[in-house]
């Protein structure tokens, strides 16, 4: 079922397809420390790593041999976290970052430069809208937002300078499941990689198996699971053929002057394991991570490993509680509308099942009458749920997006993302469902 090998500071358990997700998140990439036999992944608080010789150092720096140089690029604790997330997502390799926004930034800048464009779903988190529409625009990279309800709009909005398509698998806070299978099929046909943000649905959805080529996540959310650290990750499914579309992707296929005119596809073929499994991430790690430096701390990676180990227990509970709360809110006379994937139209319900199986998702959005004022009163009356702008915590979290996460988003874009004046977003936690419902009931009574 598995094989154990010595590789650096730890004895590793190499995951195989025979391992289920519940096992991979506990055992993937690490078995025990060979010196101490400790079974918990150590926190390697080291900036740098010794070389065996001058030749060894030269080979590692020139990517002729796998090895570590500096913890901005690679760290043993982070390595194990990356391997486990890659296995969970069904990818060939992963690269951890300091935040989810950093993961999105690196994934796009790895293949796009001034004059290029990307096509993105309009159904996005407010911070991502600002990143794509404002910050990338200042860098000369255009984002063309489309309504994802018609998958063909991605093809129609693309041209020879389009470098990727981007979407959230379960958009925050729109909660309209993205048509991953349909858009992924078109992306494969035209030769453009589809990047899916899977922050909202780790474990319960696997975009790489549905047709996406790359995924990104904010690991601060459900993977960490306890609101204790900030992090992000990029996972490569290993299914996009960069060489077949060399004219569209010169950054991947032509000599890179920033790294001694290296050819990334050739370099990856010469390296073993996850490091060489993804030319895309090999380039990202040794150029953008090298230059911008948005790496996670070893302690942040350790906390995310701890959270990952209980993800198979937490995600079903989040979703179960969310479904029961959604049913309650749907019947409440003070609630104007409830947005929850299983409550959508026929196409949305089908996509919810296609993407997430029998899990409806861990978050609910609903609208109460009275607009911004009523929304504010509701939030301030909550006693159990926390009023914070985070999601994915073990505790129930509530926010009023129009005055927080989407406050800086233009009104038209805010409405397109599903945020109205009276919209309330609930990230449903792990508390007993009766206590969650009781808290929202008393808050609604005074709103």
Local confidence pLDDT in tens for the 447 residues of the chain: 334 334 444 545 454 456 898 999 999 989 998 889 999 999 999 999 999 999 999 999 999 999 999 999 999 999 999 999 999 999 999 999 999 999 999 999 999 999 999 999 999 998 999 999 999 999 999 999 999 999 999 999 999 999 999 999 999 989 999 999 999 999 999 999 999 999 999 999 999 999 999 999 999 999 999 999 999 999 999 999 999 999 999 999 999 999 999 999 999 999 988 889 999 999 999 999 999 999 999 999 999 999 999 999 999 999 999 999 999 999 999 999 999 999 989 999 999 999 999 999 999 999 998 888 888 899 999 999 999 989 999 999 999 887 777 777 788 877 777 788 888 999 999 999 999 999 999 999 987
* Cβ(268)–Cβ(243) below 8 Å: no
| Type and span of the H or E element at 240 | none
- Predicted structure pTM score: 0.94
CATH of domain 21-299: 3.40.640.10
CA distance 172 to 414: 11
Spatial distance between the Cα atoms of 32 and 194, rounded to a whole number of angstroms? 37
Question: Domain ranges in the chain?
Answer: 21-299, 312-446
Q: Is 371 helix (H, G, I), strand (E, B) or coil?
A: helix
Instruction: Output the CA–CA distances (angstroms, integers) from residue 15 to 18, 223, 234, 306, 435, in the order listed.
Output: 8, 19, 19, 18, 40
Architecture of domain 312-446: Alpha-Beta Complex (3.90)
- Taking the CB of residue 433, how many other CB atoms lie within 10 A of it? 18
CA atoms within 13 A on the CB side of 219: 35
Nearest to 168 by CA among 131, 134, 136: 131
């Amino acid at each position: 079922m598995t094989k154990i090998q010595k590789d650096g500071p730890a004895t590793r358990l190499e995951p195989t397809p025979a391992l289920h997700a519940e096992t991979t998140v506990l055992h993937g990439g690490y078995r025990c420390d060979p010196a101490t036999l400790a079974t918990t992944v150590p926190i390697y608080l080291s900036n740098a790593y010794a070389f065996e010789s001058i030749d060894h150092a030269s080979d590692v720096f020139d990517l002729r041999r796998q090895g570590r140089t500096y913890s901005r690029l690679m760290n043993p604790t982070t390595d194990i976290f990356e391997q486990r997330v890659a296995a969970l997502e069904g990818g060939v390799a992963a690269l951890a970052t300091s935040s989810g926004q950093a993961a999105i930034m690196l994934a796009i800048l790895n293949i796009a430069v001034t004059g290029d464009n990307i096509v993105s779903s309009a159904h996005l988190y407010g911070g991502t809208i600002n990143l794509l529409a404002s910050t990338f625009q200042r860098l000369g990279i255009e984002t063309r937002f489309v309504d994802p309800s018609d998958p063909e709009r991605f093809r129609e909005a693309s041209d020879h300078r389009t470098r990727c398509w981007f979407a959230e698998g379960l958009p925050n806070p729109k909660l309209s499941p993205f048509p991953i299978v349909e858009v992924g099929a078109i992306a494969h046909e035209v030769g453009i990689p589809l990047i899916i943000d899977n922050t909202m649905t780790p474990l319960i959805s696997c975009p790489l198996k549905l047709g996406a080529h790359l995924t990104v996540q904010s690991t601060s959310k459900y993977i960490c699971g306890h609101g204790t650290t900030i992090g992000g990750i990029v996972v490569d499914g290993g299914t996009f053929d960069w060489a077949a579309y060399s004219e569209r992707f010169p950054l991947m296929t032509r000599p890179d002057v920033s790294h001694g005119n290296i050819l990334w596809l050739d370099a990856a073929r010469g390296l073993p394991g996850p490091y060489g499994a993804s030319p895309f991430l090999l380039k990202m790690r040794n150029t953008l991570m090298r230059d911008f430096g948005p790496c996670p701390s070893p302690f942040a990676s350790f906390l995310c490993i701890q959270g990952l180990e209980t993800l198979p227990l937490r995600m079903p509970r989040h979703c179960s509680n969310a479904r029961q709360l959604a049913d309650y809110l749907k019947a409440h006379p003070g609630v104007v509308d409830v947005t929850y994937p299983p409550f959508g139209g026929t196409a949305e319900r089908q996509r919810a099942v296609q993407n997430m199986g029998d899990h409806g998702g861990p978050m609910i959005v609903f609208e109460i009458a009275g607009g911004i004022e009523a929304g504010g009163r509701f939030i301030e009356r909550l006693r159990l749920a926390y009023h914070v702008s985070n999601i994915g915590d073990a505790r129930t979290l509530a926010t009023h997006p129009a005055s927080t996460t989407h406050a800086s988003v233009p009104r038209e874009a805010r409405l397109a993302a599903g945020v109205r004046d009276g919209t309330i977003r609930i990230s449903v936690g792990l508390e007993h469902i009766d206590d969650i419902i009781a808290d929202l009931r008393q808050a609604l009574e005074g709103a």
